[in-house]
Amino acid sequence: MSHHACDTVKLLTINDLSAMKKRGEKISCLTAYDASFSALIDKSGVDIMLVGDSLGMVVQGHSTTIPVTIDDMVYHTRCVSSARKRAFVIADLPFMSYSSPENAATNAAKLMQMGGAQMVKLEGPRMEIISFLVDQGIPVCGHLGLLPQSINRLGGYKVQGKDLVEAEKIIADAYQLQQSGAGLLVLECVPAMLAKEISTRLSIPVIGIGAGIDCDGQVLVLYDMLDIGIVKRPRFSRNFMQESATIEGAIHAYNEAVKQSRFPTSEQSF
């Protein structure tokens, strides 16, 4: 066993991600659900792995994320966090696992203590829940725009914040989320101009999916960008297997494209 400083890779922290935003360095993120992909994504230099409740769709084969349980999330989070050396690991709090501050704290603790997550993500402008978690020392990533756990209320997977009233509500929510102590924000399926404004105004890093090129970072669902999804690949994603003969190469190409601001283009934006 060698313990030379030069071969120790350090885990990224929330401070590293904030420093990247300050430097104007793009933050790359992919979803991950198991140890093999975790190791591969980690090796490719992707900064964040999100154990998304999208696993309900791409791993479990459901049509929404609603059936995913906290035990499912703990299991997959542990698989991912055990295999990485550098990437920051965020785990989703699934549907109804943060219906009260106490409930949220109990479930977030499971993701961190048993799953090894460094941060938890929850959907919507839930300021009371966010500040309660942050008070317990739990780092929180917000998620605004399209909220897949609210799909039955929204009535479909569509672009959010298209009219002025909706856009102003998302801007106000984003600001309050930051005030409540959220350390990161995911913006999903919103017009590129709106995401640009929010990314510029907030001091915390904003990670976009279907939110244009001007976010501080990008995230995609792994199986979409490898083009092995069960359902049709969403317009905001891209098949990175077209640029590579191997899965490792496709992940590397995605990381480079994000870092060099070559992804997304207007083709994948709204």
Q: Output the smallest distance, CB 83 to ligand KIV, in A.
A: 18
Q: Which entry of 102, 128, 166, 188 is annotated as an active-site residue?
A: 188
* % helix, strand, coil for the chain, step of 5: 45, 15, 45
* Residue closest to ligand KIV when measured from CB atoms: 52
- Preceding amide of 94 cis, omega within 30: no
Query: Which CB, 31 or 77, lies closer to ligand KIV?
Result: 31
Q: Output the smallest distance, CB 151 to ligand KIV, in A.
A: 12
Q: Which of 118, 119, 120, 114 is nearest to 94 (CA)?
A: 120
Query: Which CB, 40 or 220, lies closer to ligand KIV?
Result: 220
CB-based contacts of 122: which residues, under 8 Å, 6+ apart? Answer: 92, 93, 98, 104, 129, 130, 140, 141, 142, 143
- Dist. CA 84–CA 82, nearest whole Å: 6
Q: Output the smallest distance, CB 209 to ligand KIV, in A.
A: 5
Site for ligand KIV in 75-104 (CB under 6 A): 92
Q: Which of 191, 94, 198, 222 is nearest to 150 (CA)?
A: 94
Site for ligand KIV in 220-239 (CB under 6 A): 221
Site string for ligand KIV, 20-49 (x = CB under 6 A): -----------x------------------
Q: Which of 141, 131, 134 is nearest to 217 (CA)?
A: 141
Q: Output the smallest distance, CB 119 to ligand KIV, in A.
A: 13
- Dist. CA 166–CA 145, nearest whole Å: 9
Angular region, 45: left φ>0, alpha ψ -120 to 50, beta rest:
left
CB 127 within 8 A of CB 52: no
Q: What is the DSSP string of 46-73?
A: -SEEEE-TTHHHHTT--SSSTT--HHHH
Q: Which of 53, 173, 214, 216 binds ligand KIV (CB under 6 A)?
A: 53
Identify the burial level of 207 via C-beta atoms within 10 angstroms of its C-beta, where 0-12 means exposed, 13-18 middle and 19 or more buried: buried
Q: Output the smallest distance, CB 123 to ligand KIV, in A.
A: 8
Site for ligand KIV in 201-220 (CB under 6 A): 209, 219
Q: If binding means CB under 6 A, how many residues of this protein chain bind ligand KIV?
A: 11
Query: Which CB, 165 or 230, lies closer to ligand KIV?
Result: 230
- Dist. CA 133–CA 201, nearest whole Å: 24
Q: Please choose, out of 19-27, 32-40, 41-49, 50-58, the segment that lies near ligand KIV by the rule CB under 6 A.
A: 50-58
Tell me whether residue 188 is one of the annotated catalytic residues.
Answer: yes
Q: Please choose, out of 52-60, 126-134, 154-162, 192-200, the segment that lies near ligand KIV by the rule CB under 6 A.
A: 52-60
Count CB neighbours of 13 within 10 A.
12
Q: Output the smallest distance, CB 50 to ligand KIV, in A.
A: 6
Q: Tell me if 186 contacts ligand KIV by CB under 6 A.
A: yes
Give the catalytic positions in this structure: 188
- Applying CB under 6 A, the residues found at the interface with ligand KIV are 31, 50, 52-54, 92, 186, 188, 209, 219, 221
